[in-house]
Structure 1
Amino acid sequence: MNETVPPGATAAQWLAGARPRTLPAAVSPVLVGSAVAYFAGGFSWPRALLALVVSLALQVGVNYANDYSDGIRGTDADRVGPMRLVGSGVASPGTVKAAAFGCFGVAAVAGLVLVVWSGQWWLLAVGAASIVAAWFYTGGRRPYGYLGLGELFVFVFFGLVAVCGTTLVQLGRVTLPALLGAIGIGTITCAVLVANNLRDIAGDTVAGKRTLATRIGAARTRWLYVALLLVSVLMVIVLAATSSRWALLGLLFVPVIAPAVRAVLGKAAGADLIGVLKATGVAELVLAAGLAVGLVLGSG
């Protein structure tokens, strides 16, 4: 592949490439998993912080990995969303790939410390699977993100694994509230990806990127977005019923997400969905914070 080596991205461009708006997907599960541990009397600040490092490093790593893989395939040539480092030509593919694996390395080290500290040695396999899933979302010969499986893996790793794993390394076990919180966080995180793929549906179709949105069409994708949010609402209610009514504070995300739902059902498309993405990420963080505050208050 012949290419002109770019002079190097600026710090601001690297920050943009890390896609800060996706970080609620990394912070929220750790917040909920730690709050569940607090409610059950097993909260640990150091372990919670290490879990946060793992989650953030994986999220930024997968963002850089997607930037690299989509960039070298040319599927970022006509994007509506944020700038990509490789696709825009401000950073070389090799440099972005190295940044991705650097982040995965940070996640691996922090995760190893957590495993040794908690004694949950089987989590080594889970951690390895998380890194493999992060890379092959758009990497490799048959990336699963191009097969319509992105939402499934997001639900598993940024929902079930992240929330339940955070609780496990602190409390030593996974409780029913942890599982319910994991489902709630997992579905709203999927809603973020669904909104992203709905925004990109036209460009992805042209590029041959077969996301779930391109497979089921825009109309069904819009209803999938709403259905995922309804599951999150239901999980908050059931979690409150099985722990503390204070957990209903998690429903504060509903008024935050309402304008985004109206926009999606109102057939917003392209750049008009950028606001929906931002609102969904903020709503996820509000949901997680509400649950966390509620579980802390309910533990007294």
Structure 2
Amino acid sequence: MNAATRDGRKSGNPAKRAAATMQVRTSGSPTITWRNWVAGARLRTLPLAVAPVAAGAGIAHMVQAFSWPLTLLALGVAVFLQVGVNFANDYSDGIRGTDEFRVGPARLTGSGLVDPKRVLATALVFFALAAACGLVAVLLSGRWWFLALGAVAIVAAWFYTGGKRPYGYAGLGEVVVFIFFGLVATVGTTWLQTDVQTQEVWWAGAGVGLFAVAVLIANNTRDIATDRLAGKHTLSVRVGDRASRILYVVCVLLPFAVPALYGAVHPGMLLVWLVLIIVIPSCVITLWARTARELIIVLGLTSLAALAYGVLLGIAFAF
């Protein structure tokens, strides 16, 4: 064992310590493949980026202001920002040592598979791609105030788990997720394309945002025990296991107030009710799940439900 590896194993930085341990186990540098990076991107969370854009685009079509270029650019901002958040969380949780306690797939930083600086650089690249898409959208639309909104979104993405006082560790993650992956993404997609003000876009944003919150609650309910050990005081840690599960059910059922409210005006809302085919089983599993594996299944189902809800809601408003 060389001196660098010995120093790494004694390091106070959990990510460096994990990397050194991994090197000893493999008698050399661990092999990193594209699959590791794809796993780090957490593609199962991308439906949360697509759903609000689909809903917002549908409402833009409803007021006869739909634009493919602006919709695709809004989608680029949302997707790149989501991936950037995922890598930033991987980096921040890893260097704090939070991932030493977690259950589920190994993270790039916390497992020692990748140098933390490479993970951070990857996060910054995706933030830059999101900013580039946003800049092009602003140039095409002429709505310069979106630059400030985009800057705030990137800052919020970083401080979810980054910085000295991350709000995700203080039980505020659900609030910010509701705002940015619900209201801001949905309303922003519509306002990027039209000056017409509609109440529908706010209701749609709230519905999509609640699904995003539900995904976070399912994830944090699974991690209550390990988050307590890591000193991560999420909302689920604060309210407890049973209340967290009930809150999840509330968050996935409340969005159906939107098709109930607009069903008489937009007959296509009948399609939105089909999402209950996914939601009801996920509620049942959540309320009676006993293992982390069951809650991981809920995560997948909820992400799928969020995507279906956003797309079908957009179609209902558009046609």
Normalised by the shorter chain, which TM-score bucket? over 0.9
1:166-185 alignment, distance < 5 Å: 166-185=189-208
Structure 1: tracts of 5 or more residues without a match: none
Asked if 2 retains the 8 angstrom alpha-carbon contact of 1:248 and 1:290, the reply is no
Asked if 2 retains the 8 angstrom alpha-carbon contact of 1:180 and 1:239, the reply is no
Give the 3 Å change call, closer, same or farther, for CA 100–239 of structure 1 in structure 2.
farther
RMSD across aligned C-alpha pairs, in angstroms?
1.5
1:21-40 alignment, distance < 5 Å: 21-40=44-63
Give the 3 Å change call, closer, same or farther, for CA 54–271 of structure 1 in structure 2.
same
Q: Which has the larger radius of gyration?
A: 2
Give the whole-Å Cα distance in 2 for the aligned partners of 1:183 and 1:239.
Answer: 14
Give the whole-Å Cα distance in 1 for the aligned partners of 2:186 and 2:167.
Answer: 23
- Determine whether 1:206 maps to 2:229: yes
Give the whole-Å Cα distance in 1 for the aligned partners of 2:190 and 2:117.
Answer: 36
- Counterpart of 1:234 in structure 2 is 257
Matched residue type, 1:292: G
Asked if 1 retains the 8 angstrom alpha-carbon contact of 2:167 and 2:173, the reply is yes
1:139-178 alignment, distance < 5 Å: 139-178=162-201
Tell me which moved more, 250-259 or 263-272.
263-272
SS at match of 1:87: coil
Asked if 2 retains the 8 angstrom alpha-carbon contact of 1:148 and 1:215, the reply is yes
Runs of 4+ in 1 over 4 A off after TM superposition: 5-8
Q: 1:47 aligns with which of 70, 82, 88?
A: 70
TM-score with structure 2 setting the length: 0.89
SS at match of 1:88: coil
Alignment length, in residue pairs? 296
- Counterpart of 1:220 in structure 2 is 243
- Counterpart of 1:96 in structure 2 is 119
Q: Deviations over 1:26-47 (max 9, x none)?
A: 0111111001111110100010
Identity, % of aligned positions: 48
Q: Deviations over 1:241-266 (max 9, x none)?
A: 5x512123222111111111001111
Q: CA deviation at 1:8?
A: 6.0
Q: Deviations over 1:121-167 (max 9, x none)?
A: 11111100100000000000000000000000000000000000000
Q: CA deviation at 1:108?
A: 0.6
SS at match of 2:129: helix
Q: CA deviation at 1:82?
A: 2.6
Q: 1:105 aligns with which of 105, 128, 140?
A: 128
Give the whole-Å Cα distance in 2 for the aligned partners of 1:269 and 1:195.
Answer: 12
Q: Deviations over 1:84-118 (max 9, x none)?
A: 11111111110000000110000111101112221
Matched residue type, 1:98: A
Asked if 2 retains the 8 angstrom alpha-carbon contact of 1:8 and 1:92, the reply is no
Q: CA deviation at 1:176?
A: 1.2
Structure 2: tracts of 5 or more residues without a match: 1-7, 24-28
Matched residue type, 2:149: V
Give the whole-Å Cα distance in 2 for the aligned partners of 1:239 and 1:105.
Answer: 38
Give the whole-Å Cα distance in 1 for the aligned partners of 2:160 and 2:93.
Answer: 10
- Determine whether 1:251 maps to 2:273: yes
Asked if 2 retains the 8 angstrom alpha-carbon contact of 1:184 and 1:236, the reply is no
Give the whole-Å Cα distance in 2 for the aligned partners of 1:97 and 1:257.
Answer: 35
Asked if 1 retains the 8 angstrom alpha-carbon contact of 2:47 and 2:307, the reply is yes
Give the 3 Å change call, closer, same or farther, for CA 158–174 of structure 1 in structure 2.
farther
